[in-house]
Amino acid sequence: MSVPLGLYAEGYTDATNIGTYAADLKGSGFTNLIMGLFHIGRPSIPGQQYGDIIFNGSDMIISGGVYKGAAAWPGQVAALKNSPGNTSSITSIYFSFGGAVPWVQDYTTIKTIIDNERSQGITNSPNNPDSILYQNFAALRKAFPTIDGIDLDNEELSDTSDEYVIVSFSQMLYTVGFKVSFCPFDSPGFWIDCMQQLYNWNQNAVSGFNLQCYAGGAPNAPNNILNDWWIQPLQKAIGGNFDAASFICAGLWCRSYDTQYQQWTYGTLCPEQVQPQCAAWSNLNIGGSFIWVYDDLQQALSISGSGCTGGMATSDYANAIINGFS
């Protein structure tokens, strides 16, 4: 059975580390690589301006509509993706923006930029070439022509009054050439409202939901909750022949070791635990599963006492998803 397999990866895919892990990623069996976390610059952080694009908290990638990252990185990222003469299980790559509060303020910053620009006469910001967000994401599109989309890991905004931020930001992303995926962990009403508005604008703008079913999103994991909170409301909102179940990719956290507290993080799973969860989800006919996060997985391989009875390689997690959905 062919099922989408997502893998989030953080600093291990930056310009310094990507060469070390490229072979493992390409041979992993995962089909969708989601690189992150990217952030939106704000002047309260030294060296940043509103709208800058930052990778993993420190690497300046785009500023003032100009690529500022390592010269080799776009080619290194492109080489992870399957293409003629370059065999890889990875067929799509997304860049993920956002993360957990209070450390991340990306979508609050996007809201500030939009509101400021609109008050200054930049109509329909950010979906306007005069917007700094438009200019910087157009530059990102130019620098990384093989990237498929942008993943929105908004964990800040959830009020109905803020839906315009996600909707207008997504419209801009699609206009400059990116697909959009949502990465929610809660607030289904907020996300489904945004999805409905974007679907009415362009049915192809949003490619799917990467639904977190771990950590703060752990309550989403049971089938009845996944169905009642997400699948059925999404189906009702969009209607017609739309298949809400297949639109949702449900995610789990691989085994992870907390170095601060010197213990394995609660709720992080071995491959043999991932497989039965995916088997349960297969009864809902959802669109696949993803693993958070590659960096944790690689670090866990060097630590004893994981409690896993089988292998913990990247490919073991991919096979657990495949076997669960078979």
Predicted confidence band at 3 (pLDDT cuts at 50, 70, 90)? Answer: confident
Helix boundaries (H) for the chain: 18-26, 73-78, 106-119, 132-143, 163-176, 188-201, 223-225, 232-238, 271-282, 294-300, 314-325
Query: How many degrees, rounded to 5, is the angle at CA 118 between CA 117 and CA 119?
Result: 90
**Torsions phi, psi for 175 (to 5 deg):** -65, -40
294-321 residue pLDDT tens: 999 999 998 989 999 999 999 999 999 9
Exposed, middle or buried: residue 299 (CB in 10 Å: 0-12, 13-18, 19+)? middle
Domain range enclosing 278 = 5-325
pTM of full prediction above 0.85:
yes
**Torsions phi, psi for 125 (to 5 deg):** -55, 140
Predicted confidence band at 58 (pLDDT cuts at 50, 70, 90)? Answer: confident
Cα separation of 263 and 257, whole Å? 6
Whether residue 37 is preceded by a cis peptide bond, meaning omega within 30 degrees of 0, is yes
- CATH code assigned at 97: 3.20.20.80
Q: Which residue has the tokens 């669960």?
A: 324
Tokens of 322: 């495949």
Cα separation of 307 and 318, whole Å? 19
**How many domains does the chain divide into?**
1
DSSP string, 157-219: --SGGGHHHHHHHHHHHHHHT-EEEE--SS-HHHHHHHHHHHHHH-TTSEEEEEEE-SGGGGG
pLDDT at 2 over 80: no
207-228 residue pLDDT tens: 999 999 999 999 999 999 999 9
